[in-house]
Structure 1
Amino acid sequence: MAFDVASFRAGFPSLTSGIAHFDNPGGTQTPAVVGEAIARTLTGPLSQRGAATLSQRNAEEVVAGFRSAIADLLGGVPGGVVHGRSATALTYDFSRTLAKTWSPGDEVVLCELDHDSNVRPWVQAAERAGVTVRWLRLVPETGELDLSSLDVIGPRTRLVALTAASNLLGTRPPVATVAARAHDVGALVYVDAVHHTAHAAPDITAMGADLVVCSPYKFFGPHCGALVADPALLETLRPDKLVPSTDVVPERFELGTLPYELLAGATAAVDFLASWSPVEANRRERLVAAAADIADHELRLRTRIEAGLADLGDRLTLHSQAAERTSTLFVTLRDRLPVEAYEHLAKQDVLVPAGTFYAYETFRALGLPVDSGLRIGLAAYNDDADVDRLLEGLADFLT
């Protein structure tokens, strides 16, 4: 049965604005059920966590619900789920913690496909620790990961950090292949699944990842981050923390009082996604089934957009060419500035951003100036009418 995009869209009050959102890799719109969960939690009885009163128990239940939901989404276990202010903040926190175990002569391996949040924290930690940074390269013509560059992973490698999907090109590199090579030399694997989770239900075990981060606001939730790892691994890590704060995993990595309302909103976003499953099963299985249906829907729209871009000929170049990729397209224009296209489309309530997208290393590897193109990113609520408006607007701009 085809994905019912009209019913899906009905859950999002903001879509009545008439804006056709293709800015989704930067953050999606939010369904009413998520906003309601946030408001209900924030205005209900709520205190510091405990068991003596309803307000304390509510806080405990929200935290437990968040850990369970994120674990189901990423294929982990609740005891390995850490909340953070953002994926960037979590990566900085864990880079500092992991770097305590590094010594001069060690190496970390990073990837040219990554958002800077999975690059700069590791580069800066490596500089402080006197550790060498090596690179997994991309193939500029295709946007694929250059598998020959896996040779940089060797006996001195302590950590490999890479994306599960490029937020600029959509490329899905073979994470499991990279992880296997890393584990062969005893290195940890840190995976940025922020963009990937918006288009799939990742599986930390299948990826071979040791630590995975995601951001609920990329899949219809509130602005926060989450990290998933094996609790046994987290037990071995010693972050900086306040003396009175608990040393229990995963709480030892969470600084200060948790934003209970955001945790409730993230849980509601996961449940919202699971509710679109075509099968009755446990939540993890429903998330996987719903993600497959949504991916098919997005792929159909992506194929329409690609055909429309091809009709515009050499006036633009589509750089998203990898065989395995999300429904995210990066294009450059031959004779026009991307910001002019963005402004032209915005006047028609079609939102296609131009910018750096924090993909500095990817731009460099492509041989392109930073801020040199447009990113067209699909989400489950996009429909054929959105695509029509996008293609008509681009054709009008380039005429």
Structure 2
Amino acid sequence: MDLIPKPDQVVSAAGNLAHTVFYGGLADLRPMPRTLIDDDNLREVYHYRPAATAREHGDPVLLVTPLAAPALCYDLRRGCSLVEHLVTSGRPTYLVEYGQVSFRDRNLGMEHWIEEVVPAAIRAASAHAGGRPVHVVGWSLGGLFSLLTAAADPDLPIASLAVLGSPVDVSLVPLVAPLRPLLSLAGDRGGVVTRAYRLLGGAPTPLVRWAFQLSSFHKHITKPIAKATHYDDADYLAQLEAVDRFTAAMTAYPGRTFGQLYHRFVKGNALVGGRFEVGDREVSLSDVRVPVLVFAGANDTIAPVGAVKALVPLLSGSPDVRFEIVPGGHLGMLTGRAARTSTWPALDAWIGEWSAPLDPDPGAADAASDRSTIGTSKRRRHRSGASRALAR
């Protein structure tokens, strides 16, 4: 709104206020309809039901959620939902989420997700889609899970990977960099943090929520002013409501997993060299054999551009690695209002390029048997030829 609001701005602001009072908000928070197709310990795989206006076609997409963050990251609100975008375009869309983490899960480490949860979800999505290879999309820690899963098991039916806001060099993260020398000096013996997460069984939900809010502290402080100056913009206000709901829905980290993240990533910066211990073996990112699209948010303080771009040279075994800087912060780059015209079109083009050819007759009786062979040949899977690694 202008400093001295125009008449039409006053009318819009009054209408937004009335809608909020009488209907509880402006955002359309209806979730996209979905069906559970596979589940196990801290693993739920969902298939989003096809839109009435678009028949499902092509290779499936699997959305991999990070720990602690709800699946709302992919389905924030109608109009700003990556799920809605994929489903309405006819893409078979799947999601893996982990349910509520409790104290009994405190002994689960990252290997549980890298060796069990994500691989099982990829296989389930592929099988449900008729055996087609899967385009795996992971945001934040979900992106790191996806990369390490692909590196650990090259036989998985993966067509491509897209990782968004996944920091590899944490020394470049503004919130972490000043603390790392102090954490190193304290050592494990002084382990106040270690004792705390072991006692609590992990990082509790309020702490996770507070850490996310701290990452955008300036926005949190200036939010009342921003809201007041945009009260005539229904779409802006709806986005604020949806982000608030997302933040409120965050969950806990299991104790052992939080310990690995703290000691290996925050203190040890373990992935900057491209290798990571998973269970009793070492996994190298150079063993990723599928195309990878890497996104960084221009205003991301949790995973700044440099911390994400450090991933690109580590993917030496991939036939095609590309790096894109898109508008937005950590969540905004994925499902913010600007993502609709930046991140999503780039993701669509990437998936289209690395998808197997469509069946000429999807209703034919032999379609399913034909799909079962798709993705088993690297020539068919990576049909576009030479790598066009982006050097920025």
Please, what TM-score do these two structures have when normalized by structure 1?
0.24
Asked which structure has the greater RCO (Cα within 8 Å, sep 6+), the reply is 1
Please, what TM-score do these two structures have when normalized by structure 2?
0.24
